[in-house]
């Protein structure tokens, strides 16, 4: 049984339809990558999965349970954790506050101390700035806070929306390494990324999201060349 399956989801904002009959699956082992042009619905898909946006039709199963109608809060309670795109998390809270918030749900609270240690081990920089407000941190540090907050929520499946967006190459490499570390720690990931190299390194399964549908699926085992992906991006 896949840990997450999306079945025929159609969703949008107001009268605009963004996602059109999207179906996909994420296995229990190995990570899943989404890629595709800007504005074609990757973030929207993640928002539907985490309950921020209700789909017009279709269903979403997490670990065999239908979570389509559940609130975002209830979904957090099942261990499906979404790190949103951008890093404007809680600008006026300190890192310490954010970590406490990450552990807010009843499910995560008992693991607060243990998860905090993991976060600090993964991002030692955060410990140095523990009482600093998020708005005063660098872009890379803020992304660390976002991911750290999600780890505090004790994820069973972690969704990252463009974690390296807008970061300088050196910081970006550091962050990619951290994401790989998280994956090695046993939490399956769903990652949206523009950086195909990183996505290929990280995931065993890729989906190209184009015009609000799954244009191509690359299954585990199917090796794929970078040039082929590029041609998918830009059309044949």
Residue 44 contact among other proteins, ligand ATP, Mg ion, none, beta carbon within 5 to 8 Å by kind: ligand ATP
Report d(CA 171, CA 111) in Å as an integer: 29
Q: Alpha carbon of 35 to those of 74, 97, 200, 203, 233: distances in Å?
A: 27, 32, 11, 12, 9
By the rule CB under 6 A, 130 interacts with ligand ATP: no
Question: What interhelical angle do 139-152 and 169-184 show, nearest 10?
Answer: 10
Write the binding mask 82 to 121 for ligand ATP: x where contact by CB under 6 A, - elsewhere: ---x------------------------------------
Q: How many CB atoms lie within 10 A of CB 162?
A: 20
3-state secondary structure of 11: strand
Residues forming the site for other proteins (CB under 8 A): 50-52, 71-73, 76-77, 81-84, 88-93, 97, 100-102, 104-105, 108, 149-150, 153
Beta bridge partners of 65: 62
By the rule CB under 6 A, 13 interacts with ligand ATP: yes
Total of residues contacting ligand ATP (CB under 6 A): 11
By C-beta, is 123 or 207 nearer to ligand ATP?
Answer: 207
Q: How far is the CB of 143 from ligand ATP (least distance, A)?
A: 15
């Amino acid at each position: 049984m896949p840990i997450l399956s999306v079945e025929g989801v159609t969703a949008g904002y107001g009268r605009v339809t963004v996602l059109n009959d999207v179906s996909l699956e994420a296995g229990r082992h190995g990570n899943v990558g989404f890629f595709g042009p800007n504005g074609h619905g990757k973030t929207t898909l993640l928002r539907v999965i985490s309950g921020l946006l209700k789909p017009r039709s279709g269903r979403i199963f997490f670990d065999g349970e239908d979570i389509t109608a559940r609130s975002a809060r209830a979904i957090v309670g099942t261990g499906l954790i979404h790190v949103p795109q951008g890093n404007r998390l809680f600008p006026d809270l300190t890192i310490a506050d954010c970590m406490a918030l990450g552990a807010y749900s009843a499910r995560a609270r008992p693991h607060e101390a243990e998860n905090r240690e993991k976060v600090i081990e993964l991002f030692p920089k955060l410990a140095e700035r523990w009482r600093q407000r998020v708005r005063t941190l660098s872009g890379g540090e803020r992304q660390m806070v976002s991911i750290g907050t999600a780890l505090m929520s004790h994820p069973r499946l972690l969704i990252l929306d463009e974690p390296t967006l807008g970061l300088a190459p050196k910081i970006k490499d550091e962050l990619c390494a951290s994401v790989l570390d998280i994956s090695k720690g046993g939490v399956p990931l769903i990652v949206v990324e523009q950086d195909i190299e990183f996505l290929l390194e990280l995931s065993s399964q890729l989906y190209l999201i184009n015009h609000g549908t799954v244009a191509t699926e690359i299954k585990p085992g199917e090796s794929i060349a970078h040039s082929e992906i590029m041609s998918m991006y830009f059309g044949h």
